Amino acid sequence: MDFRGLTVDDLSSVMELESSVFVSDAWSSESMRSEIESPNNFYLGLFEDGLIGYAGLSTIPGSFSSDIQTIAVSSAARGRGIGRALMQELLRKAKAQGSEQVLLEVRIDNEVAISLYASLGFERIDVRKRYYQPDNVDAVIMRLRITQPLVLGIESTCDETGVGIVRGNRLLANALHSSMDEHSKYGGVVPEVAARAHLEAIAPTLNKALAEAGVQMKDIDAIAVANGPGLAGALMVGIGAAKGLALANDKPIYAVNHLIGHVGADVLERGYVQLPTIALLVSGGHTSLLLVRDLLGDAVLLGETIDDAAGEAFDKVARVLGLPYPGGPQIDKLAATGDPKAIRFPRGLSLPKDMEKHRYDFSFSGLKTAVARYVEKAEADGETINPADVAASFREAVVDVLLTKALNACAEFGVDRLLLGGGVVANARLREVAQQRCEAAGIELRIPRFSLCTDNGAMIASLGAQLVMSGHAPSSLGFGAESTLEVTVVQSP
């Protein structure tokens, strides 16, 4: 016996079984085709020298609710638990998608089916009179409630100590402490200072998250922690805390990838992440372009910065202009009154020769140097610069190159969705140009609320919950901090 998802190629064998099982009220071939083809549906077939049973599940994204559309078992194969096996597979799928209930309707005279559903945990909630025509038979509506896991997530990859709590795909708490201010006198994140700050912030942030969610540590079903990529010393604090909590409270632990967490953050915004998507993650530590087809199993790093991160470039250029750290918001504000076309600054890795080897990679150090040279030259020549024009022209160069490459990726991989993440997403011009270019190209732009774009514990909890809901085994306690964790590793063993 062999389960597999059905496609329209299976339509004729499905229809053969359909018309033999449902003699008086079989679906038409057209209805069945659109059922199987619908992106919201999952049809499963069971094969044994041909199709002997099938069942369909429908889940409207963001509804947290699934429906059993149909279930059929060939008369020759009855009494072997095939209906139960099909149902169990569909329920596994509903759970993995984050559904909190599954509904079905069944003929009131089909006692075998009703008792099967009851044994799987379904309860009668209603009766619809004369639902099945032309036989004039009532339908019993049944519901199975699914309690999705309560997962606590810890984030400490850079300068944010984040603790988030989710139940399945729902956000319950997102507590955060940032050590940004402590880094300001150094003009950038200092790893040792960040690690020390995590140590001081972790317990209060954990307590804040538990209070915000209104739950206690004993209620938590699993703990997730970002174990990379990030600063080693900073990661160790979050990992140490997560392992301590897991051991002390006897909870399973999931070590997850911080970057995939950013992509998954959109789950908490609308109950699901629409895939495939191109993801552009831009922060003080990362500038990464990802193609994600499956959050838990198919993410590819298309490119990343070969020198400074985008946020880092903002911070460094701010210093050149005498602005305080963090430079991003300062430059953004100053640029609002400047002319973005005043100075033509270089677009890193955008020349034809670079595009061969570094099609989706970024480089911002040449841009930073170009700004510094421009300012130095003006000073040497005794000219006064217009800082607003410099800021606007610099910002334009960063935004242009980020979005040109991201939209190239959308076009070349045939993906009509772009998701943004990271602290640089706060940039007003980045948001504006992203909106314009995506609209022009017919691409859906997703920007989660800002507290889910910057580093946070909720996205880590959410990715952990996805793993739990899909039945992945926990990580062993032996995992460590992985500064350069690859995006292909969603969970460390």
Residues that bind Mg ion (CB under 5 A): 158-160
Q: Does position 283 bind ligand ADP by CB under 6 A?
A: yes
* 401 binding partner (options Mg ion, ligand ADP, none; Cβ < 5 to 8 Å by kind): none
Q: Does position 261 bind ligand ADP by CB under 6 A?
A: no
Question: What residue is closest to Mg ion based on CB?
Answer: 159
Q: Does position 287 bind ligand ADP by CB under 6 A?
A: no
Stretch that binds ligand ADP, among 17-25, 64-72, 163-171, 308-316 (CB under 6 A): 308-316
Q: Does position 371 bind ligand ADP by CB under 6 A?
A: no
Q: Which is nearer to Mg ion, 46 or 424 (CB)?
A: 424
Q: Does position 424 bind ligand ADP by CB under 6 A?
A: yes
Among 384, 390, 380, 314, smallest CA distance to 345 is for 390
Q: How far is the CB of 194 from Mg ion (least distance, A)?
A: 9
Q: How far is the CB of 303 from ligand ADP (least distance, A)?
A: 18
Angstrom distance (rounded) from CA 12 to CA 19: 11
Angstrom distance (rounded) from CA 167 to CA 271: 11
Among 248, 188, 256, 229, smallest CA distance to 468 is for 256
Q: Does position 448 bind ligand ADP by CB under 6 A?
A: no
Q: How far is the CB of 237 from ligand ADP (least distance, A)?
A: 15
* Residue 317 CB coordination number (10 Å): 28
Q: Does position 456 bind ligand ADP by CB under 6 A?
A: no
Q: Which is nearer to Mg ion, 169 or 179 (CB)?
A: 179
Q: How far is the CB of 234 from ligand ADP (least distance, A)?
A: 10
Strands 2-5 and 150-155 turn out to be: unpaired
Angstrom distance (rounded) from CA 56 to CA 38: 11
Question: Contacts with ligand ADP: how many residues (CB under 6 A)?
Answer: 23
Q: Does position 158 bind ligand ADP by CB under 6 A?
A: yes
Name 175's Cβ contacts closer than 8 Å, sequence gap at least 6.
162, 163, 164, 205, 206, 208, 209, 212, 457
Q: How far is the CB of 160 from Mg ion (least distance, A)?
A: 5
Q: How far is the CB of 428 from ligand ADP (least distance, A)?
A: 6
Residue ranges with strand state E in 245-345 = 253-257, 277-282, 287-294, 298-304
Among 279, 299, 302, 201, smallest CA distance to 453 is for 279
Angstrom distance (rounded) from CA 454 to CA 282: 9
Q: Give me the numbers of helices (H) and strands (E) for the chain, helices first please.
A: 17, 18
Q: Does position 326 bind ligand ADP by CB under 6 A?
A: yes
Q: Which is nearer to ligand ADP, 90 or 459 (CB)?
A: 459
Q: Does position 329 bind ligand ADP by CB under 6 A?
A: yes
Token representation of residue 379? 């000073």
Q: Which is nearer to ligand ADP, 303 or 327 (CB)?
A: 327
Q: Does position 194 bind ligand ADP by CB under 6 A?
A: no
Q: Does position 427 bind ligand ADP by CB under 6 A?
A: yes
Angstrom distance (rounded) from CA 360 to CA 101: 42
Task: Report whether 363 contacts 349 (CB < 8 A).
Answer: yes
Q: What sign does the CA torsion over 406, 408, 412, 415 have?
A: positive
Q: Does position 454 bind ligand ADP by CB under 6 A?
A: yes
Q: Which residues bind ligand ADP (CB under 6 A)?
A: 158-160, 189, 283-285, 311-312, 314-315, 326-329, 332, 422-424, 426-427, 454-455
